[in-house]
Amino acid sequence: MQEFSQEPLEPSTEPSQPGFWRSFLREFLETLLLAMVLFLVVEALSARVRVEGFSMLPTLQNGELVLVSKISYRFSPIQRGDIIVFRHPLYPNQELIKRVIGLPGDTIQIQNERLILNGMAIQEPYITAPPRYNGEWQVPPEHLFVLGDNRNDSSDSHSWGLLPIDHVIGKAILVYWPLSRIRLLEHPALLDSVPSP
């Protein structure tokens, strides 16, 4: 019977073999590429904005972070009552968040602290207080009439005019920060029941 002497195997003192590093580098680059693709897809489909100021009280608080869908209006039209993010028509580098009140063709009147849309008085439970200003606006094609929910402390269509639809970035979907105030944003249907002119 032939005997074999078994010597204890010693751990390799080499840091690694070249094949290991090639495999590791390939997997790292694949993961990095996948992360970049996912990031670009998320950027293409959504935006994240920070609420600055108090023009949307009580619906949105100063400092809240809001997720915005950039593709919502590719599948359905803008509705009265939607909360949207858009580029300011006078200062395109500035982004604002307001509520859509009037669609193309609508007539908006604000009189005696009431919103009158196409001849119908609208109840607005989401506003801070009734507006203290008066005015009348006719919304032309390819434009919107937008107002902040804090009607008396908001720079919006009542002060700078109508919003071109092509300035709309997307529809505000949810508040995701701070975590204690995470919530879906409501877009009340009561404005959608108003007859068109």
Which 8-state DSSP code applies to residue 75?
H
Using CA atoms, how far apart are residues 21 and 19, in angstroms rounded to an integer? Answer: 5
> Closest Cα partner for 197 from 149, 146, 138, 154?
138
User: Virtual CA dihedral for 23, 25, 26, 28, nearest 10 degrees?
Assistant: 120
Annotated catalytic residue within 55, 72, 154, 157: 55
Q: Which of 69, 72, 98, 154 is catalytic?
A: 98
Paired sense of beta strands 46-50 and 95-102, if any: unpaired
The reply to whether 154 belongs to the active site is no
171 is catalytic: no
d(CA 84, CA 67) in angstroms, rounded, equals 11
**Residues annotated catalytic, as ranges:** 55, 98
